[in-house]
Amino acid sequence: MKTADIAPFFATLKAANPQPQTELEYTSVFELLAAVLLSAQATDVGVNKATRRLFPIANTPAQILALGEAGLAEHIKTIGLFRSKARHLIATCRILIEQHAGQVPRSREALQALPGVGRKTANVVLNVAFGEATMAVDTHIFRVANRTGLAPGKDPLAVELGLLKRVPAEFLVDAHHWLILHGRYVCVARTPRCGQCGVAAWCDSRPRGAQARFPG
């Protein structure tokens, strides 16, 4: 993707969805952290089903700890890898209480020190909860960045750094939401819906003859 194409690409995505949001359901920073931790190798729909059972009963580090690992696992057993996720979330809650007064820390270093929290999860929390211009590269963003030529890379970190360099500052805070949603619903893995794509004209993999659809 040419540099000159990036601004209209994102302007079009913005016009279609001016205030993009995560599809994970949460009402606090801790609920967001817990939901993102549980979402590894799981769908947001599946995580939401589990957290709708869990959060009314336990939605703070102390309440999660009170459930115990077995009790927590019972509430999230519909999610893949639920046993290891229960172990990680219990350990994370203990650290939050012992080292952070029960609050979710705002630094990347502190977030990634939590069990089960990697760079992508930390980026989601920093962006969604704290409004920082981070890029949480999941499978959808990785695919879209490579397929469109927006920020090709061999691994998620390479794509993340490429996106941070190429996405204009005015779009950066919301860019990862637009890219995730685009990859989830339009630029899907097996049969991308190019005929329904509003940004096909700027895509390196666009079908021949695709025309630009400018916002407004």
Residue 85: give its domain's CATH number.
1.10.340.30
Residue pLDDT, tens place only, 108-141: 999 999 999 999 999 999 999 999 999 999 999 9
Could you tell me the pTM of the whole model? 0.89
85 is annotated as an active-site residue: no
pLDDT at 69 over 50: yes
Residue pLDDT, tens place only, 28-37: 999 999 999 9
120 is annotated as an active-site residue: yes
Q: Is 191 exposed, middle or buried (0-12, 13-18, 19+ CB in 10 A)?
A: exposed
**Residue among 2, 44, 85, 138 flagged as catalytic:** 138
Question: Does residue 187 lie in a domain region?
Answer: yes
Domain shared by 151 and 183, yes or no? yes
**Residue among 120, 154, 174, 204 flagged as catalytic:** 120
- The conformation of residue 213, written as its DSSP 8-state character, comes to -
Instruction: Write the DSSP string, 126-182.
Output: IIIIT--------HHHHHHHHHHSSS--SSHHHHHHHHHHHS-HHHHHHHHHHHHHH
Q: Which of 73, 97, 129 is the last residue of a domain?
A: 129
The percent of residues above 70 in pLDDT, for the chain, comes to 96
Domain shared by 97 and 165, yes or no? no
